[in-house]
Amino acid sequence: MEEQLPTRHALAALDVVYEMSTVLDTGLSKSELAILMGLCENSVNPEALAAVVKELRREGAALAGASAEISR
Amino acid sequence: MSPSVSAAGGVATGDESAVADAIRRDLQAHGKAEQALKFAELHQKLLRSSSGGALANRWAILHLLHRVSQQRRGTPSSASTNTSSFAWEGWTGDGSSLALGASNASVSLDESLLDMSAGSIPLASAGAPTASGGFWPAAAPSRLSAHREWTEVVQGSEFEVPEQALVRDVVFCCQGIDGQYIAYEATADAYIINPRVGVSRAARDLLRRLCELGWLYGKVKHFVDAQSSEQENGGAVMQALCSALASELREYYRLIAVLEAQSNEMPVTSFDEAATQRPYLTLRRLSVWLSEPTRRMRVMANLAAACSGKKGGKLLAALHKHAQHGDPFVHSFTSSLLAKASLPLYEMLAKWLYRGELFDPHGEFFVTAKEGVKEHELWASGYSVNASMLPPFIPSSVAHLALRTGKGINFLQKCCGSSGGWSADEASQLQRELEAAGPKGGLALLGSQDFDLATRSDDGGLSVEGVVEDDPVSVLGLGRGTGALERVVSGAARKVDAKLIEVLGRTFQFNEHVLAIKRYLLLGQGDFISALMDAARADLDEPASAVSSYALASTVDSAIRASCARYDDPDILGRLRVRMMPHASDEVGWDVFCLEYVTTAPINTILTETAMNRYLRLFNFLWRMKRVEHALNHAWSQLKPSGTTAQFAAAAAAAAAAAGDAEGGATGLTSARLGGMVSLGGAVKRCLRLRSHMAHFTSHFQHYIMFEVLEETWNTFQAALGEASDLDSVIEAHEHYLGSLIEKSLLGARSQSLTRQLSLLLDMVLQFCALAERLHEGVQEVASLERRLRLERDVSTKRGGWGKTGGSAGAASDDKRVEDLARSHGRRFGEDLRKLGGNWLAGLDTFMALLPTQGHVDLRPLVFRLDTFRQHNNARAGGSSASE
């Protein structure tokens, strides 16, 4: 019980943050958001994280494009 | 891409809301108001739910979301790019932002921030000029201090002196203390901003305006201090004014204290309003806040300048003049000061009105007392209204009423002895009555506030609280209050006057005294006067130097005993004294004899010495008149037809009847002798005729004086006395009475020619009386000579002889002697009488001609009386002279 209480709070918080994220149209999935929140809670610089997200998306898009070319 | 790590590692709890706001604004900017609303709701929810501690670093996650959403939209704000570009150029080379984040991950958040901020400060200050907006990411944890430094740098480029220092200086200067940059210059009599320090022109203007307050304050403070240090000559009113000013100054100190506290503290402002990050108290704010106190202080300084060196009523007059101001603020403010300053005056007035005490150590009251005034002059000159100390809001009529009231109390206490004193009981009773009856509690200064509402309602229903506050102001004549003051004063005056009149009338019997004066000095008591005249005649015929006033005093006493006067009040009779006027060598007792009436306090306030001297003049005049009448009566009694002289008159008549008959006359008188008798008898007849003419004149004149003057004036006086409600009007009525007596008796200053003529006429009458006396003696002489001759003849006849010389020759010689004597007497007296009669008629004509010139007195009754009598006599005189 003592362990579960923070977890439940964390889940509730995650829900709220996810809603915010959808309102803001960030395009982040719930699992991605959970990872990011964890990182933030561990004092990772949000600016840096934002840069990482951007970078990963760019890389992901590039990879998708490349695989599409390969499959073609 | 160069992933730049923002300096915004600086996480402060306050930043979360800033980020949230930024997000909201962003959303709204993109027309997504609904989302913005939703986001705000969610943010609130997050705040609530995370109270359990699920999310410690909300700011970070919000910021992350913001950034990611911006990236998605592909419109990263210029602010963010700028920020990232300027903030951490030094770090970009690393390209290892993640490494940084990772390395810091284990470190506690605060420590890392501290480290970073330590490095960021020089960078931030160097880059400040380029930071046109979006300042927050660069802020260190001690953002406020960093910001302050920044503002100081920014301001430093404009002003050398920071505004806050100026504000502090202004607050100092408002307390009359020299500040760092602003100091008082005695030569310029102003607060001068140090010209060497860099202050912009606009700020200088503002400062100059603000420093006016300090200057004004200095004036007022100086005034108050000066008065409190030399209270001896300042006076109570001045002290009251100063205390009112001092309480105003206390209010002002309170304000200054608040300002001072605020100038030191930084306000709590929300972060995003960066503009208010400047010091809370600015010069402009000060100028707004201090405008009202400056107005007040300006009025106070004006008043201080106007009032310095003045005291009492003059000071109140100056205040009142300033209160007559079109500006309602100045009017009400000055009026309230005036109300406070005039409290001592009203206290003095109350003491004076209720107790007759003149408590005025500084000479401020409008009533002043004269030192060393004798009792009988107390009323007339003991107290006076000092017009220069009379405040203009007290009408002069009210002031005089107040003067009379207090004077009346003093008069009762000092002059009326134990029977008429004004006791403390009466004073407090009067006060109570007035304060109960007065609609606004009278002067309301004596602290009585328990008036019932019913009596106050006629004044427009004041609130209970309003009474005390309101009263002095309204009493000051700023509106309806004059009426209240007047009511109180006139109420007190009525009470005191009534008491005074009662004491004078009942206890001191003023009326009886005046009546006694009328009866004795104005010869109203006829039997007394004729008794006195008869008794004193012998004494008064003596030369003036030989007359003893003591003998006359006993004569007066006996005259009193011989007349109805003996039933009079012994007190009044005891006041009758004989007085001898200073006399010339040839005057007789008649001229110097005077009756005097002694008056004592308090009656001598009305019957003053001057008044008594005028009574003496009247008495002299009337007494002379009486004396003339008496002398004429005496002359008649000597020459009356029944006496010896009647023979001559009868002889003259007989001779006239039988003029040609030589043998005529039963006594066998010869025609020669008869001629002498006719001559003497004619003189007697002429004398009697002239006497009756004179007696007519004097008696008519006396009737005029008695009936037309004395009685009429007396009636008027009694009527006025009945109406008189105060001592002043009694005095005035008496003065008027006495004045009209003098005027109508033709003794006034404007009737001098008439008086002289009248006195000439009376002199003539006296001459005539002397002549009549001599005539009487002459007749007696002739008669006694004849008697003697006849006796001798009879004796010799009895002896048997033929008379002394024998024969008709002897008789003839005897007759001749008598006849010669009679003829010489007759001729002499006839001549004198004719001359005197001519003079008399001429004098009378002059007198009658002068009468109409006396326009100021109504002399018609006198003219009428004398005229008819003159016509009558002229006709007779004309007839008789024609017959002669």
Q: How confident is the model over B213-251, as pLDDT tens digits? A: 888 998 898 888 887 776 556 788 888 888 899 999 999
Whole-number Å distance between alpha carbons of A18 and B606: 113
Nearest CA to B513 out of B631, B627, B599 is that of B599
Selecting from A10, A41, A45 the residue whose C-beta is nearest the C-beta of B100 gives A45
Query: Which residues 296-335 in chain B show a CB within 8 A of chain A?
Result: none
User: What's the structural domain count of chain B?
Assistant: 3
Whole-number Å distance between alpha carbons of B123 and B198: 29
Torsion, CA B448, CA B452, CA B454, CA B457, rounded to 10? 40
Chain-centroid distance of CA B656 in Å reads 82
**B591 domain residue, yes or no:** no
Statement to judge: residues B792 and B847 lie in one domain: yes
Q: Which of A45, A53, A56, A57 to mutate to test the interface with B (most CBs of B within 10 A)?
A: A45
**B50 domain residue, yes or no:** no
Q: Categorize the per-residue pLDDT at B644 as very low, low, confident or very high, splitting at 50, 70 and 90.
A: low
**B831 domain residue, yes or no:** yes
Q: Does A20 touch chain B (CB under 8 A)?
A: yes
Q: Do B3 and A55 touch (CB under 8 A)?
A: yes
B-chain residues near A3 (CB < 8 A) = none
- The yes-or-no verdict on residue A6 having pLDDT over 50 is yes
A-chain residues near B3 (CB < 8 A) = 48, 51-52, 55
CA distance A14 to chain B (A): 9
Torsion, CA B457, CA B460, CA B464, CA B468, rounded to 10? -110
Amino acid, res. B124: A
Amino acid, res. B165: A
Alpha-carbon distances of B135 from B65, B183, B577, rounded to whole Å: 20, 39, 116
Tokens standing for residue B843: 């004098």
What phi, psi does B576 have (nearest 5°)? -75, 125
Highest mean pLDDT: which range of B51-55, B423-427, B686-690: B686-690
Nearest CA to B593 out of B634, B633, B535, B632 is that of B535
Selecting from A17, A45, A57 the residue whose C-beta is nearest the C-beta of B61 gives A17
- DSSP E strands in B277-357: the ranges are none
Statement to judge: residues B788 and B827 lie in one domain: yes
- For B230-282, where are the alpha helices, taking DSSP H only? 231-264
Q: Categorize the per-residue pLDDT at B448 as very low, low, confident or very high, splitting at 50, 70 and 90.
A: very low
Statement to judge: residues B767 and B652 lie in one domain: yes
Give yes or no for a contact between B325 and B256, defined as CB atoms under 8 angstroms apart.
Answer: no
Span of B11-20, B676-685, B703-712, B769-778 with lowest mean pLDDT: B11-20
Statement to judge: residues B373 and B299 lie in one domain: no
Among chain B residues, the shortest Cα distance to A51 is held by B3
Mean pLDDT of A53-65: 87
Q: Does A48 touch chain B (CB under 8 A)?
A: yes
Q: Do B64 and A25 touch (CB under 8 A)?
A: no
Whole-number Å distance between alpha carbons of B207 and B824: 123
Q: Do B46 and A49 touch (CB under 8 A)?
A: no
Give yes or no for a contact between B866 and B700, defined as CB atoms under 8 angstroms apart.
Answer: yes
CA distance A61 to chain B (A): 13
A-chain residues near B30 (CB < 8 A) = none
Alpha-carbon distances of B471 from B347, B377, B439, B443, B462, rounded to whole Å: 13, 37, 11, 8, 10
Span of B116-130, B159-173, B447-461, B571-585 with lowest mean pLDDT: B447-461
Amino acid, res. B88: W
Q: Does A46 touch chain B (CB under 8 A)?
A: yes
Statement to judge: residues B792 and B720 lie in one domain: yes
pLDDT in tens, B814-858: 777 777 777 787 788 888 888 888 888 888 888 888 877 776 767
**H/E segment holding residue B384:** strand B383-385
pLDDT in tens, B248-277: 999 999 988 888 888 776 544 444 444 444
Q: Do A50 and B68 touch (CB under 8 A)?
A: yes
Torsion, CA B307, CA B312, CA B314, CA B315, rounded to 10? 20
Statement to judge: residues B336 and B289 lie in one domain: no
Selecting from B42, B71, B98 the residue whose C-beta is nearest the C-beta of A23 gives B42
Give yes or no for a contact between B699 and B632, defined as CB atoms under 8 angstroms apart.
Answer: no
Chain-centroid distance of CA B373 in Å reads 20
Average pLDDT of chain B is 73
| Three-state secondary-structure class, residue B606 | coil
Other CB atoms within 10 A of residue B642 CB: 7
B-chain residues near A30 (CB < 8 A) = none
Q: Do A16 and B72 touch (CB under 8 A)?
A: no
Nearest CA to B25 out of B134, B117, B182 is that of B134
Q: Which of A21, A22, A25, A47 to mutate to test the interface with B (most CBs of B within 10 A)?
A: A47
Highest mean pLDDT: which range of B190-194, B479-483, B813-817: B190-194
Among chain B residues, the shortest Cα distance to A26 is held by B69
Q: Which domain holds residue B249?
A: 161-266+280-309
Nearest CA to B220 out of B252, B182, B268, B197 is that of B252
The residues near B588 (Cβ < 8 Å, ≥ 6 apart) are B540, B541, B542, B543, B544
Residues in chain A: 72
User: What is the dihedral sign for C-alpha B223, B229, B232, B237?
Assistant: positive
B-chain residues near A56 (CB < 8 A) = none
> If you ran DSSP here, which 8-state letter would residue B522 be given?
S
Q: B64-98 burial, b for 16+ CB within 10 Å, e for fewer?
A: bbbbbbbbbeeeebebbebbbebbbeebeeeeebb
**B421 domain residue, yes or no:** yes
Tokens standing for residue B279: 């010091």
Lookup result for tokens 């009942």? B506
The residues near B247 (Cβ < 8 Å, ≥ 6 apart) are none
Give yes or no for a contact between B517 and B573, defined as CB atoms under 8 angstroms apart.
Answer: no
The residues near A30 (Cβ < 8 Å, ≥ 6 apart) are A14, A18
3-state helix, strand, coil in chain B (%, to 5): 75, 5, 25
Q: Do B60 and A10 touch (CB under 8 A)?
A: no
Amino acid, res. B281: L
Selecting from B1, B66, B101 the residue whose C-beta is nearest the C-beta of A45 gives B101
pLDDT number for residue B457: 30
Nearest CA to B399 out of B325, B317, B459, B310 is that of B317
CA distance A32 to chain B (A): 12
Tokens standing for residue B572: 């009044």
Alpha-carbon distances of B557 from B25, B540, B577, rounded to whole Å: 125, 16, 10
- The yes-or-no verdict on residue B445 having pLDDT over 80 is no
Statement to judge: residues B714 and B785 lie in one domain: yes
Q: Does B79 touch chain A (CB under 8 A)?
A: no
Q: Does A34 touch chain B (CB under 8 A)?
A: no
Lookup result for tokens 């006996």? B558
**B65 domain residue, yes or no:** no
Statement to judge: residues B192 and B340 lie in one domain: no
pLDDT number for residue B157: 45
pLDDT number for residue B651: 61
Q: Does B74 touch chain A (CB under 8 A)?
A: no
3-state helix, strand, coil in chain A (%, to 5): 80, 0, 20
Selecting from B3, B38, B62 the residue whose C-beta is nearest the C-beta of A51 gives B3
Mean pLDDT of B732-746: 87
Q: Do B3 and A40 touch (CB under 8 A)?
A: no
pLDDT number for residue B654: 61
pLDDT number for residue B247: 92
Amino acid, res. B451: F
- What angle do the packed helices B644-657 and B752-799 form, to 10 degrees? 90
Q: Which of A8, A37, A43 to mutate to test the interface with B (most CBs of B within 10 A)?
A: A43
Q: Do A48 and B72 touch (CB under 8 A)?
A: no
Alpha-carbon distances of B279 from B200, B417, B636, rounded to whole Å: 18, 79, 122
User: What is the dihedral sign for C-alpha B785, B787, B789, B792?
Assistant: negative
Q: Do A10 and B49 touch (CB under 8 A)?
A: no
Alpha-carbon distances of B14 from B139, B142, B158, B270, rounded to whole Å: 12, 12, 31, 9
Q: Which of A15, A20, A21, A58 to mutate to test the interface with B (most CBs of B within 10 A)?
A: A20
Q: Does A18 touch chain B (CB under 8 A)?
A: no
Selecting from B1, B60, B71 the residue whose C-beta is nearest the C-beta of A40 gives B60
Nearest CA to B727 out of B609, B608, B597, B576 is that of B608
pLDDT number for residue B317: 86
Q: Do B43 and A20 touch (CB under 8 A)?
A: yes
Helix and strand tally (H, E) in chain A? Answer: 3, 0
| Structure ipTM | 0.83
Span of B27-41, B66-80, B185-199, B564-578 with lowest mean pLDDT: B66-80
Q: Does A21 touch chain B (CB under 8 A)?
A: yes
Statement to judge: residues B344 and B429 lie in one domain: yes
- Is pLDDT larger for residue B479 or for residue B451? B479
Q: Categorize the per-residue pLDDT at B565 as very low, low, confident or very high, splitting at 50, 70 and 90.
A: confident
**B144 domain residue, yes or no:** no
Q: Do A43 and B64 touch (CB under 8 A)?
A: no
Q: Do B53 and A6 touch (CB under 8 A)?
A: yes
CA distance B151 to chain A (A): 28
Statement to judge: residues B214 and B354 lie in one domain: no
**H/E segment holding residue B368:** strand B367-369
Whole-number Å distance between alpha carbons of B770 and B768: 5
A-chain residues near B57 (CB < 8 A) = 40-41, 43
Q: Does B787 touch chain A (CB under 8 A)?
A: no
Whole-number Å distance between alpha carbons of B290 and B489: 44
**B386 domain residue, yes or no:** yes
Q: Do B64 and A42 touch (CB under 8 A)?
A: no
Statement to judge: residues B730 and B651 lie in one domain: yes
Q: Do A53 and B46 touch (CB under 8 A)?
A: no
**B836 domain residue, yes or no:** yes
Selecting from A16, A45, A53 the residue whose C-beta is nearest the C-beta of B46 gives A16
**H/E segment holding residue B185:** strand B182-185
The residues near B837 (Cβ < 8 Å, ≥ 6 apart) are B686, B690
Give Rg (Cα) of chain A.
Answer: 16
Statement to judge: residues B367 and B253 lie in one domain: no
Whole-number Å distance between alpha carbons of B337 and B319: 8
